A and B are shown apart, each in its own frame.
Chain A
Amino acid sequence: MTHAIDVRQLHKSFGDLEVLKGIDFTVNAGEVVCVLGPSGSGKSTLLRCLNRLEESNSGTILIDGEDITDIDADVDQLRSNIGMVFQQFNLFPHLTVLKNLTVAQTGVLKRPKDEAIGIAREMLDRVGLSDKIHEYPAHLSGGQAQRVAIARALSMKPKMMLFDEPTSALDPELVGEVLDVMRTLAGEGMTMMVVTHEIGFAQEVADRVVFMDDGVVVEEGSPEAVLRNPNEERTKQFLRMVLET
């Protein structure tokens, strides 16, 4: 069986700074993988390489068995199949919530307008924000904005979802509502890769946890194995630090 995501020997440098030092890594279809690690460990860069927001220097990335680092790969087509959620939400402020959800459906996927609106309503319902459909993003709380961003990504009916620290920019009391939506999504069998600092979420929802540090995968395994009984000293250190604060 081909993996949903299959990364082999991925290297990435920004100038002289080597951020990814040969990453090997897979995600199966329907699996939820949480990536943990200190800031600067390369986890966000890894995520951004998967839909080529960053171009890797060497190595291969197979998405559903297809090599996306190939120079002839259709990047736009690839990206429309991979939903991405950002730390800063990145909703389009000049468009209403509805327009945020339909602009790429009609423009990229060429769905008829009625169908796109129908899908948008369905996705907003899923994140519990049907009543905000005609609002502008400025009138949403951080938690609502992030849920709309998730709905926007889901509107494309992607095969998998990437989350880049989706709760890091939120006030503590708003984190829960976003994690709830993600938990539901995971329960529905969505393939998810989540870069996060939410250890509790990883423990509860992840099928597998990957710990990264300094551009390499230090340790991976079930949440119990990595979070409760880590083998590596670096993992233990990181967990001590995170759990103390």
Chain B
Amino acid sequence: MTTLTPRQRARYYQIAMYLAAAVITVVIVFAADWSKIQKNFFNPEIAADMFPEVITSAVKNTALYTLLSFVLGMVLALGLALMRLSSLKAFRAFAIGYIELFRGLPALITLLFVGFGLPIAFSGFRIPGGVLGRGSVGLALVAGAYMAETIRAGIEAVPKGQTEAARSLGMSQTRTMFTIILPQAFRIIIPPLTNELVLLIKDTSLFFILGSTPGTKELTKFARDFMNAERNATPLTVVAALYLLITLPLTFLVRRLERSAAKAR
């Protein structure tokens, strides 16, 4: 028996892996009941029935809920991050307490509190804007807690010399923060913030517990109702594809942003 050189061994190993993958694929292809799968998951008629409402209403609502949650959450997070870094102990304590509380709770519980707890606690008080308003405020409360920690990390990643240079030019603490530190901090945290955005897109599927009318359904609720009506899983497949259609360009865009930001540095 001849001994193999490392290069040959690596090649045979590769060939073996490809063969194994091919065998597994073949087994799955023959074992699966394709006509059944096609009928239940890829039924073209049912898919066609979902349009155009799935776009004009469901995708639109998902996008709207996500954007509003993100914007509100960002404002909240910025405030929390600045409090977290404040020299006042009370501010720091509040920020820490808030962040730990809302990171520790399931988003569903927060949504229920905002949607149903608040009107009971403060009788008659309702956050305006219906499902959009209540859901977005609820999600923003949660997202704000996560993003606050991200923003804080970004601020702390900006070298101390930047603050010193700005202050030595006579800039006030606030001006330094907003014109010198935050622009650099946000550049650093674009990737984690996008992660947060993608998580938010998926979390809007929780809005169903706030109740819904035909006009306020987002993607997941829309698909579930359609699925129940048709007794077929095709709506899920369609909606899954649509989610990816939203999230994949987003991650792609961010990668480009990162690259151009890296160039500017």
Task: Give residues in A with beta carbon < 8 Å to B.
Answer: 51, 53, 76-84, 86, 88, 90-94, 103-104, 107-109, 136, 138, 149, 152-153, 156
How many inter-chain contacts with C-beta < 8 Å in the A-B complex? 68
Restricting to B250-265, which residues have a CB under 8 Å from any CB of A? Answer: 264-265
What are the interface flags for B156-191 relative to A under an 8 Å C-beta threshold, 1 for contact and 0 otherwise?
000101101111111110010001100110010000
A86:B165 contact, CB within 8 angstroms: yes
Other contacts beyond A88-B159, A156-B170: 20, CB < 8 A: A53-B164, A53-B167, A76-B167, A77-B170, A79-B170, A80-B169, A80-B170, A86-B164, A90-B165, A92-B162, A92-B180, A92-B184, A93-B184, A103-B169, A104-B170, A108-B169, A108-B170, A108-B175, A109-B170, A138-B264
Classify the secondary structure of B's interface with A: helix
A93:B265 contact, CB within 8 angstroms: yes
B265:A53 contact, CB within 8 angstroms: no
A84:B168 contact, CB within 8 angstroms: yes
Chain A residues within an 8 Å CB radius of B167: 53, 76, 79
Among B161, B169, B183, B265, the residue within 8 A (CB) of A104 is B169
Task: Give residues in B with beta carbon < 8 Å to A.
Answer: 159, 161-162, 164-172, 175, 179-180, 183-184, 187, 264-265
B170:A94 contact, CB within 8 angstroms: no
Among B159, B162, B179, B187, the residue within 8 A (CB) of A103 is B179
Among B161, B169, B170, the residue within 8 A (CB) of A88 is B161
In the bound complex, how far is the Cα of B173 from the Cα of A107, in angstroms? 12
Chain A residues within an 8 Å CB radius of B180: 92, 103
Among A81, A84, A108, the residue within 8 A (CB) of B171 is A108
Chain A nearest CB, measured from B134 CB (Å): 38
In the bound complex, how far is the Cα of B167 from the Cα of A152, in angstroms? 13
A76:B184 contact, CB within 8 angstroms: no
Chain B residues within an 8 Å CB radius of A80: 169-170
B161:A86 contact, CB within 8 angstroms: yes
> Given A80-B170, A104-B170, A108-B171, does the pair A138, B265 have CB atoms closer than 8 Å?
yes
